């Protein structure tokens, strides 16, 4: 029996798919390269913006003929759209068999047919959308994508209710995993040879809330840091309001914590930040940036921006442009505001024209493109530590890896004069290793380096 799995959305969803794949693998399934070879298809969905939702609906529309061609095929929809739309999805896509939310991926274990035929055949129109209160204490099997870097969930859900955001409705209230479970998982990863871990949560800085043990995020980092074999630790995402001086000191003091933080600012206007319910002013955000930069020299800071939030005037938008110029992020993700069901921003009075949003988005992207390039350019000639991940996607003669500041560096494993077979054997021996590279050239989205 084979499963086919397609994933939309954020890192958390990609990692959830590793858990879904883990459950299939444990149940004796193989992975189908092609959808038409599959006995079970799972679409793991994202609902963050309207566009993401539309993409999933087109995909689900295409599955109708797959089911027609193979009536035994079973189709499951997972993730944030399944959670939010629930049973109404069966009306729109009657050939879908099973819906399960991000808060009870373990329910898949009971639903999938067991290859030996001893298990029950999976039933149709079944839902597992309640938020399983035990979910955060479960250890699920995980089939990981890579062998060098791994994701580790430390918390689920979000309590922040930013006015634009659907996540608190799809992923539920914040729940932290017990620190012992997290450390066991990381210990196992270290024993398997993983070198880098990224701790995942919608708001990692509030780790520990509601846990019976007395621990906060910096404390957790200290415990994890003691697991030997893990060379690099990263985490996403941090909420600016909850970024404490204690966390910055921890970042400074623990050598395996990488010098990079993703700290979404969303807007440079205090009026908009308040309407967004973000819980900080631009000045407070800037103070945190200054503290980060003064205590951790060379730290890379990336961010998220939303343009065209309801009520955003030209002047508000100008504050965002000024913020980008003042802060000089290493990189950003920028989005046009998108109306999401259930969210508070829906009822705000002044929604912005699509054409204005598009214009603002391209202004943001333009200015950031120059700033990112400037940041990359400043690294030319520097010698940086890179964790080698594998062959470069764009040029198979090169290897690729990331700096501690999370910048992509492509490089030749050997000088070009050595013959091809020598090169490829020395290439594979570098994978998973930390090496020193000299940065030769800055590109827009990556760096070109050479082995020192």
Shortest CB 347 distance to ligand F3S, Å: 20
Residue from 9, 102, 168, 449 binding ligand SF4 (CB under 6 A): 168
Q: Which stretch binds ligand SAH (CB under 6 A): 141-149, 164-172, 384-392, 403-411?
A: 164-172
Q: Which stretch binds ligand F3S (CB under 6 A): 23-31, 65-73, 163-171, 433-441?
A: 163-171
Please state the three-class secondary structure of the chain as a single string: CEEEEEECCCHHHHHHHHHHHHHHHHCCCEECCCHHHCCEEEEEECCCCHHHHHHHHHHHHHHHHHHHHCCCCEEEEEHHHHHHHCCHHHHHCCCCCEEECCCCHHHHHHHCCCCCCCCCCCCCCEEECCCCCCHHHCCCCCCCCCCCEEEEECEECCCCCCCCCCHHHHHCCCEECCHHHHHHHHHHHHHCCCCEEEEECCCHHHCCCCCCCCCCHHHHHHHHHCCCCCCEEEEECCCHHHCCHHHHHHHHHCCCECCEEECCCECCCHHHHHHCCCCCCHHHHHHHHHHHHHHCCCCEEEEEEEECCCCCCHHHHHHHHHHHHHHCCCEEEEEECCCCCCCHHHHCCCCCCHHHHHHHHHHHHHHHHHHHHHHHHCCCCCEEEEEEEEECCCCCCEEEEEECCCCEEEEECCCCCCCHHHHHHHHHHHCCCEEEEEEEEECCCCEEEEEC
Distance CA 417, CA 426 (A): 14
Site for ligand SAH in 185-204 (CB under 6 A): 202-203
Residue 342 tokens read as 């259930």
To the nearest whole angstrom, how small is the minimum distance from the Cβ of residue 382 to ligand F3S? 34
Residue 261 near residue 291 (C-beta atoms within 8 A): no
Per-residue contact string for residues 69-98; x = within reach of ligand F3S by CB under 6 A: ----------xx------------------
Other Cβ atoms within 10 Å of 249 Cβ, number: 14
46 binds ligand SAH (CB under 6 A): no
Closest CA to 334 of 424, 235, 267, 391: 267
Only segment of 72-80, 111-119, 160-168, 399-407 that touches ligand SAH (CB under 6 A): 160-168
* 171 part of the interface to ligand F3S, by CB under 6 A: yes
By rule CB under 6 A, what string of x and - marks binding of each residue 90-129 to ligand SAH?
----------------------------------------
Q: How far is the CB of 298 from ligand F3S (least distance, A)?
A: 29
> Which sign, positive or negative, has the C-alpha torsion 57, 59, 61, 64?
negative
Question: Which listed option, ligand SAH, ligand F3S, ligand SF4, none, makes contact with residue 161 (CB within 5 to 8 Å by class)?
Answer: ligand SF4
Among 21, 23, 46, 289, binds ligand F3S (CB under 6 A): 46
Using the rule CB under 6 A, give the single segment among 25-33, 134-142, 161-169, 179-187 that binds ligand SF4. Answer: 161-169
The interface partner of residue 371, options being ligand F3S, ligand SAH, ligand SF4, none and the CB cut-off 5 to 8 Å by kind, is: none
304 in contact with ligand SAH (CB under 6 A): yes
Measured in degrees and rounded to the nearest 5, phi and psi for residue 382 equal -80, 155
**Please, is 314 exposed, middle or buried when counting C-beta atoms within 10 Å of its C-beta (0-12, 13-18, 19+)?**
exposed
Task: Choose the stretch contacting ligand SF4; rule: CB under 6 A; options: 71-79, 90-98, 154-162, 204-212.
Answer: 154-162
Q: Does 237 bind ligand F3S (CB under 6 A)?
A: no
CB of 83 to ligand F3S, least distance (A): 8
Could you tell which of ligand SF4, ligand F3S, ligand SAH, none binds residue 337, using a CB distance below 5 to 8 A set by kind? ligand SAH
Could you tell me the smallest distance in angstroms from the CB atom of residue 258 to ligand SAH? 18
> Which position among 17, 27, 127, 170 is part of the footprint of ligand F3S (CB under 6 A)?
170
Spacing of C-alpha 382 from chain mean position: 29
Please identify the residue of the shown chain whose CB is closest to the bound ligand SAH: 304
How far apart are CB 346 and ligand SAH at their closest, in Å?
10
For position 345 contacting ligand F3S by CB under 6 A, the verdict is no
Question: Is residue 202 part of the contact set for ligand SF4 (CB under 6 A)?
Answer: yes
Q: How far is the CB of 326 from ligand SAH (least distance, A)?
A: 19
Q: Per rule CB under 6 A, is residue 171 in the interface with ligand SAH?
A: no
By CB under 6 A, name the binding residues for ligand SAH: 48-49, 164-165, 167, 202-203, 237, 239, 264, 266, 304, 306, 335, 337-338, 340
By CB under 6 A, name the binding residues for ligand F3S: 9-10, 12-13, 46-48, 79-80, 166-167, 170-171
By CB under 6 A, name the binding residues for ligand SF4: 158, 160-162, 165, 167-168, 202-203, 239
């Amino acid at each position: 029996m084979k499963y086919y799995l397609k994933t939309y959305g954020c890192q958390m969803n990609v990692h959830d798919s590793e858990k879904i794949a883990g459950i299939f693998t444990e149940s004796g399934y193989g992975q189908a390269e092609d959808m038409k070879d599959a006995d079970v298809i799972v679409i793991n969905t994202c609902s963050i913006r309207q566009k993401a939702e539309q993409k999933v609906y087109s995909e689900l529309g295409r599955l109708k003929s797959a089911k027609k061609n193979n009536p035994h095929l079973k189709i499951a929809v997972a993730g944030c759209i399944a959670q939010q739309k629930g049973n109404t999805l069966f009306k729109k896509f009657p050939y879908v068999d099973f819906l399960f939310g991000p808060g009870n991926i373990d329910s898949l274990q009971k639903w999938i047919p067991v290859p030996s035929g001893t298990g029950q055949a999976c039933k149709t129109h079944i839902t597992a959308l309640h938020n399983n209160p035990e979910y955060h204490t479960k250890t699920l099997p995980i089939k990981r994508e890579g062998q060098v870097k791994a994701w580790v969930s430390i918390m689920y859900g979000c309590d922040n209710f930013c006015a634009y955001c659907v996540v608190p409705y799809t992923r539920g209230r914040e729940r932290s995993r017990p620190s012992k479970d997290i450390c066991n998982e990381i210990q196992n990863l270290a024993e398997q040879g993983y070198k880098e871990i990224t701790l995942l949560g919608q708001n990692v800085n509030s780790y520990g809330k509601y846990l019976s043990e007395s621990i906060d995020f910096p404390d957790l980092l200290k415990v994890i840091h003691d697991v030997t074999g893990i060379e690099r630790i990263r985490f996403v995402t941090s909420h600016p309001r909850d970024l404490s001086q204690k966390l910055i000191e921890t970042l400074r003091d623990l050598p395996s914590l990488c010098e990079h933080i993703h700290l979404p600012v969303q807007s440079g206007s205090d009026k908009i930040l308040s309407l967004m319910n973000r819980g900080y002013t631009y000045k407070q955000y800037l103070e945190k940036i200054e503290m980060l930069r003064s205590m951790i020299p060379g730290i890379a800071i990336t961010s998220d921006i939303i343009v065209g939030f309801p009520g955003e005037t030209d002047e508000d938008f100008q504050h965002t442009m000024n913020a980008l110029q003042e802060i000089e992020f290493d990189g950003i993700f920028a989005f046009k505001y998108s109306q999401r069901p259930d969210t508070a921003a829906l009822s705000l009075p002044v929604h912005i024209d699509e054409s204005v949003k598009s214009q603002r988005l391209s202004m943001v992207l333009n200015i950031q493109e120059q700033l990112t390039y400037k940041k990359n350019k400043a690294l030319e000639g520097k010698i940086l530590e890179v964790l080698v991940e594998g062959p470069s996607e764009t040029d198979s003669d090169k290897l690729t890896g990331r700096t501690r500041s999370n910048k992509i560096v492509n490089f030749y494993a050997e000088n070009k004069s050595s013959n091809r077979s020598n090169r490829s054997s020395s290439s594979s021996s570098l994978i998973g290793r930390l090496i020193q590279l000299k940065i030769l050239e800055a590109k827009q989205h990556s760096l070109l380096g050479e082995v020192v």
